Amino acid sequence: MRIKTYQTVSMAIKALQKKGFDADFVLDKGKMRCAQTHKNYVAKNMEIVEFHWFKGDSDSNVNSIIYAVKCNDGQQGIVVSDYGMYGSAQINDFMKRVKVAEKPQIAGSIHQQAMLMS
């Protein structure tokens, strides 16, 4: 399977939205909240279907991961997380507890993929 890579975060988000990942999720008091439905999800009720890694060059502060997630009730959406010095440890810790689909689509370097899976 060939993995689609995107040049920018916004391109990845638009493409995922076209695939049906149209809800936005934000971390709220230790749970992921769907911005559209206001429903909260714990990590065990979500699955990472696809994710894309963006690392800016030395002049850029763009260091992001875009997760396409599916919830146990069928809700699909996107979680955007920064990583590195300005990243959210809480979001990254939450996402490490979310099950990764058996065959997720992953875009990023091998080293970066190994970091996420650990």
List, edge to edge, every strand of the sheet that includes 40-41: 40-41, 31-34, 23-28, 76-82, 63-71, 46-55, 99-107
What pLDDT shows up at residue 82?
A: 84
Cα–Cα distance measured from residue 27 to residue 50, given in angstroms and rounded to the nearest whole number? 19
Quick one: pLDDT band at residue 85, thresholds 50, 70, 90?
low
Top pLDDT among 114 and 47 is at 47
11 has pLDDT over 80? yes
115 has pLDDT over 90? no
Top pLDDT among 111 and 46 is at 46
Cα–Cα distance measured from residue 98 to residue 60, given in angstroms and rounded to the nearest whole number? 29
What pLDDT shows up at residue 114?
A: 37
* Beta carbons within 10 angstroms of residue 72's beta carbon: 11
| pTM of the model as a whole | 0.79
What pLDDT shows up at residue 95?
A: 94
Average pLDDT, stretch 14-36? 96
What pLDDT shows up at residue 106?
A: 54
What pLDDT shows up at residue 54?
A: 84
